Amino acid sequence: MKPSLVKGTRDFGPEQMSKRLFIFDTIRATFKRFGFLPLETPAMENLSTLTGKYGDEGDQLLFKILNSGDFAASIAPEVLATGSKAVLPKIAEKGLRYDLTVPFARYVVMNRHALALPFKRYQMQPVWRADRPQKGRYREFYQCDADVVGTDSLLCEAEIVLMVHEVMRNLGIQNFALKVNNRKILTGIAEAIGAPGMEGALAVAIDKLDKIGQEKVLDELRDRGFAESAITALLPMFTMQGTTEEVLNKLKSWLTQSETAQKGIAELEETLRLVAQYGLENPQIELDVTLARGLSYYTGAIFEVKALGVSIGSISGGGRYDNLTSAFGTSERLSGVGISFGVDRIYDVMEELSLFPADAGQGTTVLLVPFDAEGRSVALPLLNALRRAGVSAEMYPDLAKVKKMLDYANAKRIPYVVLIGSEEVQTGQLAVKNMLTGEQQKMTAEAVISFVQG
């Protein structure tokens, strides 16, 4: 059989991995600077852990894992006839994680006695979604999450705003927008249009606005049971523009009867005030009333980051969740808030905009090319000394033709080659060739180390 990849997954060669590691390292450095600790959870979770946390549409995108053994032997024919929903619990008890937030909440509940609250963790692992593959949307992709749980303080929201700006700017993505909103405002909107308690369905539909447009969103709301009068009353939401202050004032006026909405507006105002007190320079924050985030567990602030000038969706998102840990049977209410960076979309953005540093994909710095066994006796000590000095170096393993060895250096984009023939062995003056300029010069082994270090 001809080998192939599962749709929605990708291989990453050495050059791609070097660039991806640049993204991981940049994000990890920011997380550590803000006091977050590392955590990992298993790729598999019990389906009872995952289901019911992401809304109906999210549950449909869970990858289920068949039970081992003859898992279908005990299923009665009448059960099979009732359909997949009845059969699923009998043949699959586990699934691949859909995100990192729910496994984190499960971990917190299981280890509550050992955690000092508030607990700040970061996690950088792959997640899986049974989605239809398309540009910027994969079935397997990495997320880099940072969450703090065990506090209601809006300082945490303000720090997320700061982290987003630091990560984006350190990656070189200068042209971006951090969109913010608050789920309490969406709750107030549902009340204002005469659909109290339907904020979840409202959020799921509005979350598709960028993908399907306003008219199809309104059609979906009709399908979800929203009255025509409610849909007409909702229309101001789509045209609410202006400065942040102007939009907040419009919301206060429109949602004056909703205590929940007014609380959400106040939380937004306080978060922005704290960000200003931190001294964030040139904040790239945009209040977007139509920002909904489709996941059902959000209860407060919500965030979404988009790179401008590219045709790729959001590259980061997150928000406040007050009730997620209670879904695991704990009576203690632990509020949390977090942000997630999508490495695969960030990679696509940086590739499209040519933002990776020139050395991001750089591997070996120096290739040693001995012409014979005598040359190796000089090359090996130098190779060891280069590595001890922190220089990435390797030696061509075979005694081959010089052209073949230089072609190898070019193929791997190695900038420096040290040629060691009989003359170099006798004089102690090694030939160092700059593969980018073609320039060649002689120097001692000690001088080679300083030279390639720049």
The answer to whether 363 and 14 are in contact (CB under 8 A) is yes
Give the pLDDT score at 415. Answer: 93
Give the pLDDT score at 80. Answer: 66
Secondary structure percentages of the chain, helix, strand, coil, to 5: 45, 20, 35
Name the residue among 92, 89, 84 with its Cα closest to residue 63: 92
Domains and CATH numbers, the chain: 14-44+98-352 (3.30.930.10), 366-453 (3.40.50.800)
**Higher-scoring residue by pLDDT: 293, 341:** 341
**Mean pLDDT of all residues in 182-206:** 89
Rounded CA-CA distance 27/342 in Å is: 11
Rounded CA-CA distance 432/385 in Å is: 16
Rounded CA-CA distance 224/206 in Å is: 12
Residue-wise over 228-253: b if at least 16 C-beta within 10 A, else e? Answer: eebbebbeebeeeeeeeeebbebbee
Rounded CA-CA distance 264/52 in Å is: 25
- Strand arrangement of the beta sheet that strand 140-149 belongs to: 37-38, 119-128, 140-149, 336-342, 316-321, 301-307, 176-182, 285-287
Q: H-type helices in 111-227, by residue range?
A: 155-171, 183-192, 199-206, 209-212, 214-223
Rounded CA-CA distance 165/181 in Å is: 17
Q: Which residues contact 412 (CB under 8 A, 6 or more apart)?
A: 363, 364, 367
The answer to whether 144 and 341 are in contact (CB under 8 A) is yes
Beta bridge partners of residue 420, listed in sequence order:
370
Q: What percent of the chain has pLDDT over 90?
A: 68
Task: Pick out the residues of the known binding site.
Answer: 99-101, 129, 143, 147, 293, 297-298
pLDDT band per the 50, 70, 90 thresholds, residue 86: low
- Collapse the DSSP code of 313 into the 3-class scheme (helix H, G, I; strand E, B; otherwise coil) and give the result: coil
Per DSSP, the residues of 212-278 read: H-HHHHHHHHHHTT--HHHHHHHGGGGG--S-HHHHHHHHHHHTTT-HHHHHHHHHHHHHHHHHHHH
Task: Pick out the residues of the known binding site for L-histidine.
Answer: 99-101, 129, 143, 147, 293, 297-298
Give the pLDDT score at 83. Answer: 66
pLDDT band per the 50, 70, 90 thresholds, residue 79: low
pLDDT band per the 50, 70, 90 thresholds, residue 416: very high
Beta bridge partners of residue 418, listed in sequence order:
368, 432
The answer to whether 50 and 128 are in contact (CB under 8 A) is no
Name the residue among 324, 271, 283 with its Cα closest to residue 149: 324
Whether pLDDT at 312 is above 70: yes
Q: Which residues contact 84 (CB under 8 A, 6 or more apart)?
A: none
pLDDT tens digits, 332-386: 788 999 999 999 999 999 999 999 987 776 789 999 999 999 999 999 999 999 9
Structure-block tokens of residue 376: 């190796």
Whether pLDDT at 285 is above 80: yes
CA gyration radius, the chain: 28
Give the pLDDT score at 405. Answer: 92
Give the pTM.
0.85
- Collapse the DSSP code of 185 into the 3-class scheme (helix H, G, I; strand E, B; otherwise coil) and give the result: helix
Rounded CA-CA distance 275/160 in Å is: 10
Give the pLDDT score at 286. Answer: 93
Rounded CA-CA distance 277/273 in Å is: 6
Whether pLDDT at 37 is above 90: yes
